[in-house]
Chain A
Amino acid sequence: MTPNNLKNERLNEEIHFAELENGLKIFFMPKNDYLKKYAIFATNYGSNDNRFIPIGESEIAEFPAGIAHFLEHKLFEEPEGNIFNEFSKLGSYVNAFTNFNQTAYLFSCTDKFYENLELLVKFVQNPYFTDENVEKEKGIIEQEIRMYDDSANWKVFFNCLDGLYHKHPVKVDIAGTVESIYKITKEDLYNCYNTFYHPSNMILFMIGDIEFDKAFSIIKNNQRDDLKSIEGEIVKEYPEEPESINKLKVEESLSVSTPLFNIGFKDLDIGFGGEDLVRKQLVTSILLEMLMGESSEFYQKLYDEGLINNSFGTQYVGHKNYGHSIIGGESEKAEKVLSEILSYLEEKQKSGLNKENFQRIKQKYIGYYFMDFNSIEYIATTFVNQYFNGSSLMKYLDILEGIKFKDVEKRFNQHLTSDNYTLSLITPK
Chain B
Amino acid sequence: MSIEYLREKIDNGVHFNLIKTNKFKTNLINFYIVRPLSKDEATKNALLPLILKRGTSKYNTSLEIQRRLEELYGANLSINVNKKGEKQIIRFAIETVNSDFIKEENLLRKILDMLNEIIFNPYTENEVFSQNYFKQEKENLKKRIEGRINDKKTYAVERCIEEMCKNEKFSIYKYGNIEDLEDISCKGLYEHYRSILRSSPMEISIVGNINKDEAINSIQDTFRLHREDIINLPREEVIKAIRTKNMITEEMDVNQGKLTLGLRTNIPYEDKLYEPLIVASNILGGGANSKLFLNVREKESLAYYIYSKSYKYKSIMIIASGIETENFNKALDIIKDQIQELKDGEFTDDDIEQSKNSLITTIRSMTDNNYSMSEFYLSQALTKDTSHISDMIEKINKVSKDEIIEAANKLSLDTIYFLRKKNN
Contacts and interface: CB of A to CB of B under 8 A. Distances in A.
Interface in A356-392: 360-361, 363-368, 370-371, 373-376
B370 interface: yes
Nearest to A152: B150
Interface in A293-341: 293-297, 299-300, 303-304, 306, 309-310, 330
Contact of A143 (B1, B136, B146, B304): B304
Contacts of A366: 73-74, 102
Interface stretch (A28-36, A55-63, A117-125, A187-195): A28-36
A67 interface: no
A150 to B, nearest CB: 5
Interface stretch (A40-48, A84-92, A98-106, A238-246): A84-92
Contacts of A363: 70-71, 73-74
A257 interface: yes
B114 to A, nearest CB: 14
Contact of A150 (B76, B147, B254): B254
Interface string A275-308: 0000000000000000001111101100110100
A48 B298 CA distance: 28
Contact of A360 (B1, B70, B288, B367): B70
B263 to A, nearest CB: 23
Q: In this complex, which of B26, B66, B74, B302 has the most chain A Cβ atoms within 10 angstroms of its Cβ?
A: B74
Interface in A1-38: 10-11, 33-36
B228 interface: no
A33 B22 contact: yes
Given A36-B365, A82-B288, A91 B74 contact: no
B305 interface: yes
Contact of A371 (B69, B76, B324): B76
A295 B322 CA distance: 40
Contact of A367 (B97, B304, B354): B97
Nearest to A289: B70
Contacts of B253: 254-255, 429
B150 A143 contact: no
Interface stretch (B182-190, B239-247, B269-277, B355-363): B355-363
Interface in A222-247: none
Given A35-B367, A35-B368, A143-B324, A82 B298 contact: yes
Nearest to B145: A257
A264 B139 CA distance: 28
B354 A88 contact: yes
A32 to B, nearest CB: 9
A257 B304 contact: no
B383 interface: no
B23 interface: yes
B70 A295 contact: yes
Contacts of B95: 371
A97 to B, nearest CB: 14
B67 A295 contact: yes
Given A89-B357, A363-B74, A374-B370, A150 B63 contact: no
A373 B25 contact: yes
B74 A35 contact: no
Contact of B301 (A82, A140, A294): A140
A137 B324 CA distance: 15
A: contact size bracket: 35 or more
Interface in B115-132: none
A177 B23 CA distance: 44
A256 interface: yes
A210 interface: no
A232 B252 CA distance: 53
Contacts of A140: 297, 301, 303-304
B401 interface: no
Interface in B329-357: 350, 353-354, 356-357
A144 interface: yes
Contacts of B357: 88-92, 111
Nearest to A297: B63
A92 B26 contact: no
B361 A111 contact: yes
A411 interface: no
A96 to B, nearest CB: 11
A213 interface: no
Contacts of A108: 361, 365
B364 interface: yes
A109 interface: yes
B368 A36 contact: yes
Nearest to B107: A367
Given A89-B350, A93-B358, A257-B146, A374 B70 contact: no
Contact of B73 (A11, A293, A295, A364): A364
Given A91-B357, A257-B149, A370 B66 contact: no
Interface in B1-18: 1-2
Contact of B26 (A136, A139, A330, A371): A371
Nearest to B151: A151
Contacts of B353: 89
B143 A257 contact: yes
A258 interface: yes
Nearest to B26: A371
A256 B149 CA distance: 6
A371 to B, nearest CB: 5
A258 B365 contact: no
A57 B370 CA distance: 51
B254 A35 contact: no
Nearest to A175: B304
B101 A10 contact: yes
B61 interface: yes
B70 A255 contact: no
Given A34-B368, A295-B63, A89 B96 contact: no
A417 interface: no
5 contacts: A150-B256, A300-B61, A363-B73, A368-B74, A373-B25
Given A143-B302, A300-B61, A330-B143, 18 more contacts: A34-B23, A89-B354, A91-B358, A93-B358, A111-B357, A139-B301, A140-B301, A143-B304, A256-B147, A295-B63, A295-B70, A300-B62, A304-B136, A366-B102, A367-B74, A367-B75, A371-B95, A376-B368
Q: Which 7 A-B pairs have the closest CB atoms?
A: A91-B357, A367-B73, A139-B301, A364-B74, A84-B288, A367-B74, A88-B289
